[in-house]
């Protein structure tokens, strides 16, 4: 158990819909990262928040947005969903603000868009 929790575990929705994925980091960790893993693909970095502020941005689509709240939990919002958005979405946290710090990953949310 990494100490990072993600909800929900599974999500099935239709094209055009909007969903919100939630992540609670390990106690004391200030950084939260979001990753997308599509079928047979590596992990694609989406975005990082550090202590409530956006720290780094990866290949995140404009239809996607995220935020980190004062209690440090984070939400990833995916809108106007397309079939290609079906993937595993991982959240990770770390103590420091650099991506080379050891990151602790949650179990992921599997999103299926029908």
Partner 1 sequence: DQQVKQNSPSLSVQEGRISILNCDYTNSMFDYFLWYKKYPAEGPTFLISISSIKDKNEDGRFTVFLNKSAKHLSLHIVPSQPGDSAVYFCAASAPVQGAQKLVFGQGTRLTINP
Task: Name the residue among 86, 102, 113 with its Cα closest to residue 31.
Answer: 102
Q: Is 98 in the site for partner 1 (CB under 8 A)?
A: yes
| 36 strand-pairing partners | 44, 89
Q: Which stretch binds partner 1 (CB under 8 A): 11-19, 63-71, 76-84, 93-101?
A: 93-101
Q: Is the CB of residue 97 less than 8 Å from the CB of residue 55?
A: yes
Kind and range of the H or E run holding 77:
strand 74-78
Question: Can you tell me which of 28, 39, 40, 71 binds partner 1, judged by CB under 8 A?
Answer: 40
Question: Can you tell me which of 34, 49, 64, 90 binds partner 1, judged by CB under 8 A?
Answer: 90
Cα of first residue to Cα of last residue in the chain, in angstroms, is 31
Q: Is 10 in the site for partner 1 (CB under 8 A)?
A: no
Question: Can you tell me which of 72, 78, 92, 111 binds partner 1, judged by CB under 8 A?
Answer: 92
**Residues near partner 1 (CB under 8 A), total:** 26
**Nearest distance in Å: CB 16, partner 1:** 29
Question: Can you tell me which of 56, 61, 67, 95 binds partner 1, judged by CB under 8 A?
Answer: 56
101 Cβ contact list (under 8 Å, min separation 6): 31, 94, 95
């Amino acid at each position: 158990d990494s100490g990072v929790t993600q909800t929900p575990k599974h999500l099935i929705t239709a094209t055009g819909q909007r969903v919100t994925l939630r992540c609670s980091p390990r106690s004391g960790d200030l950084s939260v990262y979001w990753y997308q893993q599509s079928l047979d693909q590596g992990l694609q970095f989406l975005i990082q928040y550090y202590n409530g502020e956006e720290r780094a941005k990866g290949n995140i689509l404009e239809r996607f947005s995220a935020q980190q709240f004062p209690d440090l939990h984070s939400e990833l919002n995916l809108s106007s969903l397309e079939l290609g958005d079906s993937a595993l979405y991982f959240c990770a946290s770390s103590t420091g603000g650099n991506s080379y710090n050891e990151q602790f990953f949650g179990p992921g949310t599997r999103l299926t868009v029908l």
